[in-house]
Amino acid sequence: MIKFDLENLFKLEEHGLNLEDFNAQGEKIPLYLEGIFSKEVGFYEILDDDETITKIKEYAASVEGKYEHIVVLGIGGSSLGTICLQKSLGHMFNQSSPTLHVLQNIDPDLISDLEDTIEYSKTLFIAISKSGGTAETLAEYFYFRKKIESMGLHPAEHFAFVTDPNVGWLREMSQKEEIPTFDVPPNVGGRFSVLTPVGLLPTALIGLDIDALIEGAKKQRQRFLSTNFDENLSFQLATIQYQMANQGKNINVMYPYSERLKSMSDWYAQLLAESIGKTEEIGITPVSATGVTDQHSQSQLYMDGPFDKLIMFIKVEKFSKDLAIGYEEEGHYLSQKTFNQLMHNALRGTADALTEKQKANMTIQVNEVSATTIGELFMLFEGSVAFLGEFYNINAFDQPGVELSKVLTKQYLNESA
Ligand code: PA5
């Protein structure tokens, strides 16, 4: 369950949110929803694709116990959601079984360290690429494919693909061979694809609850599609971001007070940056911070620096455990307190200090970190970014700049000896 606490934003004089302007935007929900519908994007419809979800679960069941390592080969939208799911729902120190490694860089040192860790005969590589042709992902695929073949192992036993159903190199490959392949619907872009096999397949393979994830996302989708402003948190969030950006606060700091949610900020950074950064005038810069850690690193800037930021705290109401600090001394502020209390009061202290300094901040509250709430958060943010695209009258669903760098990389490789 997600709630917003906007009190601090409304409290601020010059740098806050004007209640009338905020509510006035709410009247335009039907118009902006129409705009999103007209683009025929699928990020909120994929949740109904029961067939794909069943296929993922059946595949996961069929390979249970077969692999010790799952290695995702993918980058950007093809890796960040999976990392977020792994970090937020998995154990933070113990590895899952099988262990999941997401190789989202081509740094040779990273690849060789991975090789020191895995045993090829017990490893499944999942090449994930919406376009099916991203150089980094293909390079990793070629590399590991050669290794698998050189060991006399069968590629169909050690690879799976997640890609567009019709186009791209991976798709062509899958048509020639027996490699298990899962589709990313053509109308779902990379950074909106976490709830397709892109995020669901690796997650299911390490035993996380993809049904609960989808259930949470569906709950939030209902709100995203609602024309009631109080209900529609995605629309409210986009309105806040837009109105703040119009005041020059076009840096958004996502600041979860939760170690589990740390990677949510990284996933969100791509979603926001690639979707909204489209012209020299339009763009919101995402920044990732984690509470309480960054209170002792970035906070000084947020407190006393320029009025160019909106701080979006995420507060987890209930952590999975209540953990007593175990100190008892009358009059000491830590006496008989829990880490939970320390975390919550640190957040409160930081938010109130920012407010005293007239710095824009709001809090997104989640009751707990679970597959359901992670599903809700994904849909909340995807919906808000879709609305932001409409407010700015831009296409939030393409990424011409990223495409250009991909084209140039290929060109330079062709030119180099
Ligand atoms: O959002 C996007 O479409 C991109 O950032 C992609 O996620 C990223 O470039 C990887 O592309 P692909 O999944 O096609 O390999």
Helices (runs of H) and strands (runs of E) counted in the chain: 17, 10
- Spatial distance between the Cα atoms of 128 and 133, rounded to a whole number of angstroms: 10
Residue minimizing CA distance to atom 7 of ligand 1:
77
pLDDT tens string 288-345: 999 999 999 999 999 999 999 999 999 999 999 999 999 999 999 999 999 999 999 9
Q: How large is the angle between the packed helices 210-224 and 50-62, nearest 10 degrees?
A: 160
* pLDDT of 197: 98
Which member of 147, 337, 344, 406 is catalytic? 406
* pLDDT of 33: 97
Chain Cα centroid distance, residue 20 = 32
Residue minimizing CA distance to atom 8 of ligand 1:
76
Structure tokens at 228: 């009631």
Q: Would residue 218 show up in a list of annotated catalytic residues for this protein?
A: no
Beta bridge mates, 214: none
Which member of 136, 140, 259, 274 is catalytic? 274
Q: Which residue, 160, 157, 148, 171, is CA-closest to 204? A: 160
CA angle, residues 300, 305, 309, in degrees to nearest 5: 100
Q: Which residues line the pocket of ligand 1, CB cutoff 6 A?
A: 75-78, 129-131, 134, 137, 189-191, 274, 399, 402
Q: Would residue 296 show up in a list of annotated catalytic residues for this protein?
A: yes
Residue type, 145: R
- 406 CA: nearest ligand 1 atom: 9
Q: Is 316 helix (H, G, I), strand (E, B) or coil?
A: strand
pLDDT tens string 151-175: 999 999 999 999 999 999 999 999 8
CB proximity list for 85: less than 8 A, separation 6 or greater = 194, 199, 202, 203, 208, 213, 374
Phi, psi of 223 (to 5 degrees): -75, -40
* pLDDT of 380: 98
DSSP output for 45-78: TGGG-HHHHHHHHHHHHHTTTT-SEEEEE--GGG
Centre of ligand 1 to C-alpha 170, Å, is 14
Q: Is 403 helix (H, G, I), strand (E, B) or coil?
A: helix
Residue minimizing CA distance to atom 4 of ligand 1:
190
* pLDDT of 400: 84
Residue minimizing CA distance to atom 9 of ligand 1:
76
pLDDT tens digits for the chain (417 residues)?
A: 999 999 999 999 899 999 999 999 999 999 999 999 999 999 999 999 999 999 999 999 999 999 999 999 999 999 999 999 999 999 999 998 999 999 999 999 999 999 999 999 999 999 999 999 899 999 999 999 999 999 999 999 999 999 999 999 999 999 899 999 999 999 999 999 999 999 999 999 999 999 999 999 999 999 999 999 999 999 999 999 999 999 999 999 999 999 999 999 999 999 999 999 998 889 999 999 999 999 999 999 999 999 999 999 999 999 999 999 999 999 999 999 999 999 999 999 999 999 999 999 999 999 999 999 999 999 999 999 999 999 999 999 988 888 788 888 889 989 987
Percentages helix, strand, coil for the chain (3-state, rounded to 5) are 50, 15, 35
Q: Would residue 154 show up in a list of annotated catalytic residues for this protein?
A: no
Query: Quick check: 283 and 331 in contact, CB under 8 A?
Result: no
> Which residue matches tokens 């860790």?
117
Centre of ligand 1 to C-alpha 282, Å, is 21
All structural domains of the chain: 2-38+225-401 (3.40.50.10490), 46-211 (3.40.50.10490)
* pLDDT of 272: 97
Give the residue, out of 72, 134, 275, with the most ligand 1 atoms within 8 A of its beta carbon, to mutate for a pocket test.
Answer: 134
> What's the chain's length in residues?
417
Query: Rounded to two decimals, what is the model's pTM?
Result: 0.96
Bond preceding residue 292 cis, omega within 30 of 0: yes
